[in-house]
Structures are given as structure tokens and as C-alpha cells.
Structure 1
Amino acid sequence: MTEASPRVRERPLSPHLQVWRWHVTMLGSILHRACLMGLYVGALILVGWAVALASGPEAYAVFKSLLGSPLGKLVLFGLTFALFFQLSSVVRHAIWDTGKGFDKKFADTMTIASIVFAAVATVVTWVLAGATGAL
């Protein structure tokens, strides 16, 4: 007597990004998570800066040259955007914590405002840093 193979029960799949219709609050949610991960990397860079500073002038010079390279500046630019986006996202979430702002139009507007604020503040910060010779 042969055993029949066990019947596999069809189960629903979890929704995937390709299933959902894209909207701006989805972008805001994904950016929020990505920026948080980036800021964790930024915290590690800050620890590396402190270790290099404590290790002496040679180690600090190496660390400074890494962050001063084009790739290092690109990373710092991204971290600046992540920081400003998180600042604006905290305001958005604080409004939601009051139970307000859940209607589609307001949520979309706040998400767009968060992204625009982060982009503008990042560019202004880097322009000012360049103008003062901090770069």
C-alpha cells in the first residue's frame, strides 16, 4: 500500500510591496525605516570618531581623511538627510499620536512636507558648511 503525499494546504501570502498601489505615505513609511537604519550607522561612525580621537593624531587623521573623501561626504550627506527627515517625521508622528491627521489628504500633505523639509534643510546645511569652510 502506498502512502499518499500529504496535502499541502494553500495559505494566503503576505502582502508585498508589488501588490500594493504606491502612495506617498508608503514612501514616508519606508523612508522612516531606512533613515533610522542609516542613523544607526551614523551612531557607529560617531563611535569611530571618538575612538579615533582617543587613539591619537595619526588615527584621527586617517578617520578624517576617510570622512573627507567623496564617498565619506556622500555618506555624511545621506546622514544629514536622515537626521532632518527623522526630525520632521517625529512631528508628523506626534500629530498622529493625538489622534488627528489620519485623513488621506492631511497624511499625504504631512509626508510630502517631511520629505521636502528634509531635502531643503540638508541642502541648506551643506551649502552653509561649504560657505564657512567646514567641508
Structure 2
Amino acid sequence: MPVRPRPLSPHLQIYRWTITMSMSIVHRATGIANYVGTAFLVIWLGAAAWGQGPLDVVNLVYGSWFGQLVLFLYTWSLVHHMLGGIRHFIWDFIQGMEPGQREMLAWANLVLSVVLTLAIWTIFVWVA
């Protein structure tokens, strides 16, 4: 009996790129980024516990333009990941979504994460 080759799994060249696929990848990436950002938070808390000298050094680094950029992206990562979790929760519990609703939620996740991050930084960093 001849041996039939196993079927190949579809690959990225087969699939049409969609916003939901992109947001799934970004959700995973922000989850990883949140671990790194949380390590920066732990460093800051450790420096505060260590004393004023170490805290001044960490505040100097975090207060630089690069540190502020990293903190801004960390804030966006937290917000985006949270909204992505809510989006997945909605997908899991709402039956019979109409065509286009999943894509609308994915776009809303992206836009709302940017808007909320800007609002957080405007209220707590730039204005304060």
C-alpha cells in the first residue's frame, strides 16, 4: 500500500491578513512587554525602599526623554492588553455576532488604547 504524504498546515501566505489577526499578535506582544515594564516598576519600588540616593538615580533615568518614552509605551501596553482582554471576554460570551462586529471591536481596541493612554498621560503626567 503506497504511503500518502501528510497534508501540510496552512501558512501565512494562505491567509488574508486581518485586523483581528493583527490585534491577536499585538495582544501577545503587549503581554510580554508588560512583564518587562513591571520589572521597571519593581526597580523603582526597590530604589524607593533602598533610600533617597538610589531613588534619585532611578528617577533621573526614568525622567529622561528615553525613560519617558518607555514609560509611555508601557502605559499603552497595559491599556491595550487590558482592552484586548475585555474584547476576548466579549467574544467568548456573546453569541451570534454579526459580520464585521469582531473587526469593529478590534479597531475599537486599537483606537481606544491610544486615546486612553493619551488621556492618562495628559491628566497624570503632562498637566500635573
Which interval holds the TM-score relative to the shorter structure? 0.7 to 0.9
Q: How many residues align?
A: 123
Q: Is the Cα–Cα contact under 8 Å of residues 81 and 119 in structure 1 kept in the other structure?
A: yes
Partner SS for 1:116: helix
Paired AA for residue 44 in structure 1: A
Please say if 1:47 is aligned against 2:42.
yes
Helix, strand or coil at the partner of 1:100: coil
Larger radius of gyration: 1
**Aligned pair 1:12/2:8, yes or no?**
yes
Q: Which moved more, 1:89-98 or 1:74-83?
A: 89-98
1:28-82: CA deviation from partner (whole Å, max 9, x where unpaired): 1011011111111111111111211121111111111111011111111111111
Deviation at 1:126, TM superposition (A): 1.4
Q: Secondary structure at the match of 1:64?
A: helix
Which one of 103, 119, 125 corresponds to residue 120 of structure 2? Answer: 125
Aligned to 1:96: 91
Deviation at 1:12, TM superposition (A): 3.3
8 A contact 1:101–1:107 mirrored in 2:
no
RMSD: 2.0
Identity of aligned residues (%): 33
Partner of 2:17: 22
TM-score, normalised via structure 2 length: 0.84
Distance 1:26 1:125 in 2: 27
Match of 1:86 in 2: 81
Cα distance change of structure 1 residues 97 and 11 upon mapping to structure 2, 3 Å threshold: closer
Secondary structure of 2:16's match?
coil
